[in-house]
Structure 1
Amino acid sequence: MELVFIMLLSLIIAFTVAILIRNIGFEFHKESKEKRISQRYEECIIELEDKLLKVDMKDVNKINAILEENYSQLVGYEFYVVDENGRVISSSTPAMLEIDKVRIIDGARDYQISKSDANVFKITGCDSIKNGYYLYYTYLYFDENDTRMVAGALIGAVICFFFLIWGRISYISTIRLSVDKMTQGDLSEKVPCCYKNELRGLAEDINKMAEALENEEQKKNEFLTNISHDIRTPLTTILGYLNMIKNKNYDSEEALQGYIRIMERKGKFLASMLEDFFQYSKLASHDISIKYTKLDLNELLRQMKEDEEEEFLAKELKLELQLYPEVIYCMGDPELLARVVGNLLSNSIKYSQMNTSVLMKSSIEKVNYINYGVFSISNVPQESISEEEVSRLFERLYKRDNARKEEGSGLGLSIANNIIKLHGGKIEGHFVEERLIFKVYVRMQKL
């Protein structure tokens, strides 16, 4: 929008200057009437009259040949050879057949300026040739300077435009240099924010992108550090017990079986963690195919409750289920959606206060004219959590510091979020009245 304004401003400035220059020229030309008449006369009238003096004025063909060959193409001129009564004998244009007799006066000169444009003028002249024959001529100046003025104004507008936007062009070069530094890995580089236009918006967006990439890089580094710790801890335990078994550092068969059970549990944890990494990688790269099937959301939640209820009881938690009274048919991959429910339930088991309830509910909601099957899982967390932290729980590679003590990859909610996105739905997190609520939207089957 600013470029359009600058171009219009450039045109206004250029044409204003051109008109002022032309008007100065008008004033000069107004004072040079005799000079204009003299220029036209010397330009071709003298030469034409000399040629006509050398021919027989009754030889019309010869006169026609002179006018057609040399003078019919002159811009602005009209030539007439007439007798003393104004009858046209020959002319460079068929515009008139007769000229008013009162105009046929030897040496007559008439000069007229247009009332609307002082640079448009007309010269009329008449000279006696010989034997009662005259050369009557007119010259009309059609303001050729206006054409030159327009061309000059356009060129001036272009020059003015580039002069006005030169700072913007230089600023674009500055942005490019900053982007080059960012592409070379210097994400701390910031584009200076100048002007109040689209370029400033571009600079701000680039800075936001660089900041996001820098945060992402930092999160990846933190993630790798945390994952290295999470993998090293159970691996160290397994290797330690293997060494004890190898050296027979145990007192009884019961102690040996205890070591084996611990190694088995740690091994399963490592396998589960690696499976999360593999699943997250496939989902993030969209290297996964969704097998859409018509499924009953209520039935899915009912089955998940039956499968997980015993584990909740072992953790002194109560798993409750409130189902929508009607069947909710959704389109999705049953295995992937079961993974979403399982991840959310697993999160509730890890971080719920003891002797509290975890509630699963189903419902139907319409959002932007689209019907969604909705299920929510809510629990009472072990400690309060801010809305900002809730909004970050589904970020890639995010894991709360105080959750490091719990076994897990920290990818469960990210995996759930990616699965729902692939289904065209969404997950929302809220903290309401001491309960952490995860709400999942899955598109219903079209009737």
Structure 2
Amino acid sequence: MKRIFKLRSELVFSAAISAIIAIIFAIILKEFILGSFLNNSKNTTEYVHDDVIAAIEYQLKNMNINDSNKVQKYMDKENSMLYLISIVHKDGKVIASNNKEIKSIDANEVVDGKKTFKFLNDNRKNLVKITRCDYLKDGCYLYYIYVGYGKLENENIVGIMTGIIFIIIFFLIIWKRISYISEIKSTVRSIAKGNLYERVPLKYKNELRELSEDINYMTSEMEKEDKKRSEFLTNISHDLRTPLTTILGYINMIKNGKYVSKDELNSYVDIMNKKSLYLKNILDDFFQYSKLSSKDIVLEKQKIELNELARQIVQEEEDEFIKNNLTLSINLMQEFIYIYVDPNLFLRAVNNLLSNALKYSKHNTSVEFNISKEKYNNKFYAIISASNIPEEPITDDEIENFFERLYKKDLSRQKEGSGLGLSIVKDIIKLHSGFVKTYKENNRLFFKIYMDIKF
């Protein structure tokens, strides 16, 4: 038994895998970015220097650096919580600073061009400390400390990159399924245009496979219906053309006086009448089937007693069976049994069963017409059955096809009929919430109509 995975579960699993991979990549990417940022501080240090310090450095170079009061006044204007800016001598003594509490700097830090960069031990990983010392003029140096954020907001970048990586990996994982859905859509469109030979390839083991199987099943059924439709048109052409040709032929013979006696003329008329009745029966079947297929038929139901109905049917049909060397026997129940049906439609269904038995029964045998009551699936039903001995052997496959539209056992079509009779029986009984069963028992073929009993 094949195991079916739910598509929803597959998508959740794919999302989970994508998230795990994205997180791993994000961690690597984060370490790469931060590591690069730590090992090569040029971008951030130059950004800090160019953004603030360069302008201060320019102003100081154009001032008398030895005028400490003037320089201090200028430095007081550069008060900032992010920058500690000092002018120092080589020995570390502070000449002026934007923080007056700073009196000296470690002389080891006073080196032209010296730079330091590090991340602070903070939950915000992109908080940095930058120190830098540049020679100013007249033996003085510009020394500053910057504590703040670097030029790159790494956490935001990592978060964005994580999302992008997740989306890319997720779509890579499910892309084949998305493509498969597109393939299903394309195949369905092709089928809708009439290419009934098309089939959706079966992939995966989820609802998409089940959907594809259902589409293929539907297409197979449509293909069968299309074949039946073609056969239907061929059958109509044959069934109508043959008797019409016969009728027209005899009309032409009568019109041209090609008969030698009145008896011969009457025989022509009898043949024409028989063929006309055959045409009428075929057209009645076509009309009835079309009406039943329209699904808007209105049933005029009445309560009828089955034993009485069976007697009337046998009285009307018995002579026809005798003419065909058949015996029509009837077996009734001792008790009254009622059903609730549309009399005309139900009578048509029963007559079609008997007509089928009349056409296909072996000569000099009996057709049994029975009314009974039978328990099926823990429920009692009224049973109308007709059984006969077929003139030709019947296979189980043929029994399965009896109630299919346009089915004829006699493929040579030597038997007259539209091929709709038993299909009409099935549709009429279905409209009355009943069902039909057929089976072989010994050498007899049984057709049974199951109807709800009306109390």
TM normalised by structure 2 equals 0.69
What CA deviation, in whole Å up to 9, does each residue of 1:292-339 have, x standing for no partner?
Answer: 222223333333223222222222222233334443332221211111
Question: Residue 113 of structure 2 aligns with which residue?
Answer: none
Could you tell me whether the CA contact under 8 Å between 1:328 and 1:364 is conserved in 2?
no
Equivalent residue in structure 1 for 2:397, among 384, 388, 403: 388
Could you tell me whether the CA contact under 8 Å between 2:33 and 2:154 is conserved in 1?
no
Equivalent residue in structure 1 for 2:19, among 5, 11, 16: 11
Alignment RMSD = 4.4
Pairing of 1:114-133 with structure 2 (within 5 A): none
Give, as a single letter, the amino acid of the residue that structure 1 aligns with 2:331: Q
Could you tell me whether the CA contact under 8 Å between 1:365 and 1:374 is conserved in 2?
no
Q: CA deviation at 1:16?
A: 4.2
The yes-or-no answer on 1:181 pairing with 2:190 is: yes
Give, as a single letter, the amino acid of the residue that structure 2 aligns with 1:363: K
The yes-or-no answer on 1:364 pairing with 2:374 is: yes
Q: Residue 246 and residue 162 in structure 1: after superposition, are their counterparts in 2 closer, same or farther (change >3 A)?
A: same
TM normalised by structure 1 equals 0.70
The alignment partner of 1:3 has SS state of helix
The alignment partner of 2:200 has SS state of coil
Question: Residue 103 of structure 2 aligns with which residue?
Answer: none
The alignment partner of 1:188 has SS state of coil
The alignment partner of 2:381 has SS state of strand
Question: Residue 166 of structure 1 aligns with which residue?
Answer: 175
2: CA distance, partners of 1:324 / 1:337: 19
Could you tell me whether the CA contact under 8 Å between 2:126 and 2:155 is conserved in 1?
no
Q: Residue 241 and residue 160 in structure 1: after superposition, are their counterparts in 2 closer, same or farther (change >3 A)?
A: same
Question: Residue 444 of structure 1 aligns with which residue?
Answer: 453
The alignment partner of 1:437 has SS state of strand
What CA deviation, in whole Å up to 9, does each residue of 1:84-119 have, x standing for no partner?
Answer: xxxxxxxxxxxxxxxxxxxxxxxxxxx8778xxxx7
The alignment partner of 1:255 has SS state of helix
2: CA distance, partners of 1:120 / 1:196: 46
2: CA distance, partners of 1:371 / 1:16: 69
Q: CA deviation at 1:159?
A: 2.8
Give, as a single letter, the amino acid of the residue that structure 2 aligns with 1:224: L
The alignment partner of 1:385 has SS state of coil
2: CA distance, partners of 1:149 / 1:384: 80
Count of aligned pairs: 383
Could you tell me whether the CA contact under 8 Å between 1:370 and 1:443 is conserved in 2?
no
Q: Residue 426 and residue 5 in structure 1: after superposition, are their counterparts in 2 closer, same or farther (change >3 A)?
A: farther
**Structure ID, larger Rg:** 2
Question: Residue 398 of structure 1 aligns with which residue?
Answer: 407
2: CA distance, partners of 1:226 / 1:390: 21
Q: CA deviation at 1:3?
A: 3.1
Could you list the runs of 5+ residues in structure 1 that have no partner in the other structure? 32-49, 55-69, 72-110, 124-138
2: CA distance, partners of 1:158 / 1:299: 76
Could you tell me whether the CA contact under 8 Å between 2:329 and 2:367 is conserved in 1?
yes
Pairing of 1:339-350 with structure 2 (within 5 A): 339-350=348-359
Give, as a single letter, the amino acid of the residue that structure 1 aligns with 2:436: I
The alignment partner of 1:256 has SS state of helix
Identical columns (%): 47
2: CA distance, partners of 1:30 / 1:13: 25
Q: CA deviation at 1:269?
A: 0.9
Could you list the runs of 5+ residues in structure 2 that have no partner in the other structure? 1-6, 40-72, 82-119, 129-147
Question: Residue 275 of structure 1 aligns with which residue?
Answer: 284
2: CA distance, partners of 1:19 / 1:435: 81
